[in-house]
Amino acid sequence: MKLTQLESTDRITNLLLSGSLDISGVKDVEMDFARLASGKRAVVVDFSGVTFIASLGMRMLLSAAKKLDSEGGRLILHSVPPLVETALETAGLTMVLPVVKDAPDAISLSQLQR
Amino acid sequence: MGNCYTFKIKNNFPELELLCAEINEIARESNFSEQLLFSLNVCLEEMLTNIIKYGYDDNRPHDIEIRLEIDNEIMILTIIDDGHAFNPLEADAPDMKSDLQHRQLGGIGIFLTCKMADKLSYERKDNKNFLKILLAPHVAAL
């Protein structure tokens, strides 16, 4: 599991996650993810390379989203592969965590007033 | 007839990670769809994590037995543990309605497993929990 920080601005942090968010995958990235997903900013995560997620990975996303929300920021996922998106939907996470089609949609959403 | 594999792990996460890797290797060779592999991994991770975290009333090591039967289009995963009686089919429904700050994920793992498996059955016998999970995307529930 790999977490990469892409070119970012002072208002948007762009991250790329790739690999399987299983038990060992979450262990690999959770500390860095929690550190990067903070502050009064939009944290936009490219999920295109994520092949698996279960409740442990969802916990990591939910706790980052809660923290960002309380700090005036937000977490946005984009380019989520179908099987991963279905799992997020089944767990009811897409109701509290924005999942959009691609990077441009994520940028537009991040610019909207909350 | 298909193949049957039996594994035994102790109730700890390093052994669970190794088990998942080993089972994935076997499942990949069987040419199942990505969807079925995804569901298998959800079932494995969620049900075994539950047993390891909440299944026991002491701090001693315990054996957990995992059987995997593979036949053309179906997979049957059986998990046997000697923890206290727990029927996941009777677990409380998870919170799907609260807003972001109030959302909790308790019970989500069991809920996901029930949604992704084609059939789950539970039995308590000889002081053990037997959880049987059928994954068969193209076969009507048995």
CB distance A114 to A74 below 8 Å? yes
Q: State mean pLDDT over A85-107.
A: 96
Residue B138: per-residue pLDDT: 62
Helix or strand run (H / E) with residue B69: strand B63-71
| Min Cα–Cα distance to chain B from A2, Å | 17
Name the H helices within chain A: 23-36, 55-70, 82-90, 103-111
Residue B140: per-residue pLDDT: 46
Q: State mean pLDDT over B25-53.
A: 93
Give the ipTM of the model, two decimals please.
0.92
Instruction: With beta carbons under 8 A apart, name residues in chain A contacting B49.
Output: 23, 55-56
Q: What CATH number was assigned to the domain covering residues B3-135?
A: 3.30.565.10
Phi-psi region of A87 (alpha: psi -120 to 50; beta: other; left: phi over 0): alpha
Which residue in the set B97, B105, B116 is minimally distant from A62, CB to CB? B105
Q: Does B115 touch chain A (CB under 8 A)?
A: yes
CB distance A56 to B45 below 8 Å? yes
User: What is the percent of chain B with per-residue pLDDT over 70, rounded to a whole number?
Assistant: 96
Q: Which pLDDT tens digit goes with each residue over A3-44?
A: 999 998 989 999 999 999 999 999 999 999 999 999 999 999
Q: Does B14 touch chain A (CB under 8 A)?
A: no
For each of the domains in chain A, give its residue range(s) and CATH number, in order of start: 2-111 (3.30.750.24)
Q: Which pLDDT tens digit goes with each residue over B110-120?
A: 999 999 999 99
What residues does each domain of chain B span?
Answer: 3-135
Q: State mean pLDDT over B39-59.
A: 97
Please answer yes or no on whether B99 and A55 come within 8 Å at the CB atom: no
Distance separating alpha carbons of residues B41 and B44, to the nearest angstrom:
5
Q: Does A103 touch chain B (CB under 8 A)?
A: no
Mean pLDDT lowest for which of A2-6, A101-105, A110-114, B53-57?
A110-114
pLDDT at B142 over 80: no
Which residue in the set B13, B97, B111 is minimally distant from A23, CB to CB? B13
